[in-house]
Amino acid sequence: MNVSEPAVMTFDRLRTYADCTDADGCWEWKRGKSSGYGRVRVGGKRGQVYRAHRLAYELVNGPIPDGAVVMHACDNPPCINPAHLIVGTQGENIADRDLKGHGWWTRKKGTP
Q: Which of residues 69-108 bind Zn ion (CB under 5 A)?
A: 74, 76, 79, 81, 84
Taking the complex as a whole, the smallest distance from the CB of residue 81 to Zn ion amounts, in Å, to 5
| DSSP code at position 65 | P
7 vs 23, beta carbon nearer Zn ion: 23
**Binding-residue pattern over the window 22 to 61 for Zn ion, x denoting contact by CB under 5 A:** ----x-----------------------------------
Report residue 28: phi and psi, to 5°: -80, 130
* Segment 40-45 long-range contacts (CB within 8 Å, at least 24 positions apart): 40/9, 40/14, 42/3, 42/8, 42/9, 43/8
Q: Which residues bind Zn ion (CB under 5 A)?
A: 26, 74, 76, 79, 81, 84
